Structure 1
Amino acid sequence: MFAKIYQPARNAMQSGRALSKHWFLEFTPEMAERPDPLMGWTSSTDMRAQVRLSFDSQEAAVAYARQQGIPYQVTTPQKAKRYVKSYSDNFSTNRKQPWSH
């Protein structure tokens, strides 16, 4: 039973940061999923794979894992580089690439 503590990256289709402030604790699967012979759906008998705990901070998630005696690994997110460009930069005289249509 090994846990992963992480802060999810925002979806490429969203511009806000609504769910990116929470930290999650998920258990790594102990066994691989296998297809059901009748329906073909993948299934597993590992119940911990369905557990996803949400925390307000990384410290709270780490404290919970330590309190419960769960070995864990913390994955810190990489900060996105902000590139601010205005429309007038397209017509600037000091462009690195020439303007062409």
Structure 2
Amino acid sequence: MEARIFKPAKSAMQSGRGNTKDWVLEFVNPEARRRVDPLMGWTGIDDMSGQVRLHFDTREQAIAYAEREGLKFAVEESRERKRLIKSYPENFSAARKQPWTH
């Protein structure tokens, strides 16, 4: 069984950084067969382990768990976002590099 260890990004519906501090171990099975339900058109899968997500406080705890259970795993490093720190008065500053227009 293979696993993926990552730190989840915030969703598009979040303004804050909630639920992005934990590390997640998610099982991946590339051999799982997907099928389409003929009546509803929903996609189903025959492997239920893809629905299991384990949360850890640190990356090292997740790696230790995967090694203890004998899982092959890949760690995806998280990228920190760049913040552009601006203030509202800078829009009207006389030292603006670009001219202010309507």
- Relative to the length of structure 1, the TM-score reads 0.90
Structure 2, unpaired ranges of 5+: none
The Cα offsets for residues 34-58 of structure 1, whole Å up to 9 and x where unpaired, read as 1012332211111211111111111
The Cα offsets for residues 44-90 of structure 1, whole Å up to 9 and x where unpaired, read as 11121111111111111000000000000001110111211111100
- 1:56 counterpart residue number: 57
- 2:75 counterpart residue number: 74
Deviates more, 1:61-70 or 1:20-29: 20-29
Runs of 4+ with >6 A deviation: none
| Aligned-pair Cα RMSD in Å | 1.3
Structure 1, unpaired ranges of 5+: none
Shift of 1:32: 4.1
Give identity over the alignment, percent.
Answer: 53
Count of residues in Structure 1 that have an aligned counterpart in Structure 2? 101
CA contact (8 A) 2:8 2:23 kept: yes
Deviates more, 1:55-64 or 1:35-44: 35-44
- 1:94 counterpart residue number: 95
